[in-house]
Structures are given as structure tokens and as C-alpha cells.
Amino acid sequence: GSMTAMTVFFPLDTARLRLQVDEKRKSKTTPAVLLEIIKEEGLLAPYRGWFPVISSLCCSNFVYFYTFNSLKALWVKGQHSTTGKDLVLGVVAGSVVNVLLTTPLWVVNTRLKLQGAKFRNEDIVPTNYKGIIDAFHQIIRDEGVLALWNGTFPSLLLVFNPAIQFMFYEGSKRKLLKKQLQLTSLDAFVIGAIAKAVATTLTYPLQTVQSILRFGRHRLNPENRTLGSLRNVLYLLQQRVRRFGLMGLYKGLEAKLLQTVLTAALMFLVYEKLTAATFTVMGLKHSRKH
């Protein structure tokens, strides 16, 4: 589900990242940025970094779903789940997976996705990596091993993103299942989209800071210090608002909403279909009480 959804909407994430990191880019809308990237860097440029991102995302989402459902099975134990329990489980699963395990992968992925980009901001230092392994090697050699955890603090805060997403999704799902026997494809798609839209909008300023810290290739950070403390986060938020106004915190939100909402909706749709198919193959009745 993750692989299918992310591949279809991957160019939208490329546009989002450019708008977040390269704040001096004149093109402001998603279509304009994508056309600009294709014109300057080639037709396949919006898919730069596809393989490492897809690999990390699939791994992250697989472990997240597994952790979430395993913890849910242990805690709920046949009882009805609640919105509060879904939120707590989402935070725990997100902390274990998205921060402790996958932050180094996302730091490398951010660097690879922006490699070869034609930046408007002259303070950005371009990268030159031959691949995932070389990126890990160069970052550890030049910036230290802790640089792989750049942006950890906002990442810890951002565990509330999937937690909020699952809370809204599971809550909406329970309400629908009180009125009907099962979710339709349209139901899964719509509530998945709404859940992700709410979570993304609430946490987007932190995602902007996270992208900047993960990239880390900035002449204002000549000593390659590890970035991501509360002080760094507050400073970047303050500078962003001072230079671009409150809306500066939401640069690229259009692309992010399109990409994450459609990706999450398609992912949940595939997830529900695969779950139903699995129970059918196993000859079991799929319980509707979650």
C-alpha cells in the first residue's frame, strides 16, 4: 500500500521539499515548481531519490502498522478500542519507528532527493553522493555520526502526526461501522484523506523545520554542528516568521497536503482491501470491532 501510493504521488513530495528548503524559489505553487524542475533538470527529476525514499517509507510503515496493531492487540484484548487508546498507541509506535530507527535513513534520503537541484538560495551547500552507502559514509566522516540524527527533536514531536491520523481514522471508522456492516472503498479513501489532512495541517510548521534540519547543508552552519535541539527549532521557527510572515511556516503545504492526503487515502484503501483478502484466504471472519 505504501509503495503504490508513494510512487504515484512522489513528485508532489519533491515539490514540497524544494519549497521548504529553498525558500528563495520564486515559483510558489505545486504545478509551477514541478514544471520548473522538469524544465531545468529533466523529466525524471521529480522522481530523484525515489528508491531510497520508497525503501525507507515501506520499512517504516510496515513496522509502524505491525507495532501499532501488536500493541493494540495486547492492550485492548478483545475489548472495544477508544480514541484515547488509539492516540497513545500511535505515539508509542511512532516514537519507536519514526524517530529511534528511521531518522538516519530520512536524513540521507533528504540529502539524496535534493542532490542535483538548482537552488536559488546561495547559502545552500550542494551535496555529491554516489548512493545511500556513500551518503552515510560522507556524513559520518565530515559531520560526525550524530549528524544522522539531525532534526530528532522535531521528529519526536511529529510522532503526533501519525498518532492524530490514526486517532481520526479509527474514530471515523468506528462511527461508520455502527451504521453499516463494512467499509466501502470510498469510505476508506475519504476518511483516510480527512485524517491525514487534519494531522498534516496541525503539524506542518514542525515538518518544515524538520526538512531544513535534516538537509543541514547550509553555510550558516559551517561547523556542521548537530542540529535539532529545542533551541534550534524555536530559532528556525522565529526566523521563518520574521522573514516570510506566518505563512512562511506553511511553504509547500499545498504540495504536502496533495501528496500526503492522497497517499494516505490510497494506502488505507489498499490496507483495508489486503486485510479483507488475507482474512478471506485464511478462511476467517474479519472482525469489525476494533
Is 231 inside any structural domain? yes
217 found inside a domain: yes
Q: Which long-range contacts (CB under 8 A, 24 or more apart) does 181-188 make?
A: 181/288, 182/276, 182/286, 182/288, 183/272, 185/269, 185/272, 185/273, 188/265, 188/268, 188/269, 188/271, 188/272
Virtual torsion, Cα 109, 112, 113, 119, nearest 10 deg: 130
For residue 95, being part of any structural domain is answered with no
**Domain span at residue 214?**
150-251
Strand, coil or helix: 57: helix
60 vs 109: CA distance, rounded Å: 13
Phi, psi angle pair for 125, to nearest 5°: -95, 115
CB atoms within 10 A of CB 237: 17
Q: Which of 56, 91, 58 has its CA nearest to residue 72?
A: 91
Total number of domains constituting the chain = 1
Helical spans, DSSP H, in 115-151: 132-143
Name residue, grid cell 492526503: 261
Unique residue bearing C-alpha cell 521557527: 237
- Whether 200 is covered by a domain: the verdict is yes
| pLDDT value of residue 136 | 92
Residue 118 lies in a domain: no
Which pLDDT value is given to residue 1? 67
In a structure prediction context, what are the per-residue pLDDT tens digits for the chain, which is 290 residues long?
Answer: 667 777 888 898 888 888 888 877 777 788 888 998 899 888 888 888 788 777 777 777 777 777 777 877 777 776 777 777 777 777 777 676 667 777 888 888 888 888 888 887 777 777 888 888 999 999 999 888 888 888 888 888 887 787 788 888 888 888 888 888 788 878 887 888 888 888 888 899 988 888 888 887 665 454 445 455 667 778 888 888 888 888 888 888 888 888 877 777 777 777 777 878 887 887 765 544 44
Half-sphere exposure of 116 (CA within 13 A, CB side): 17
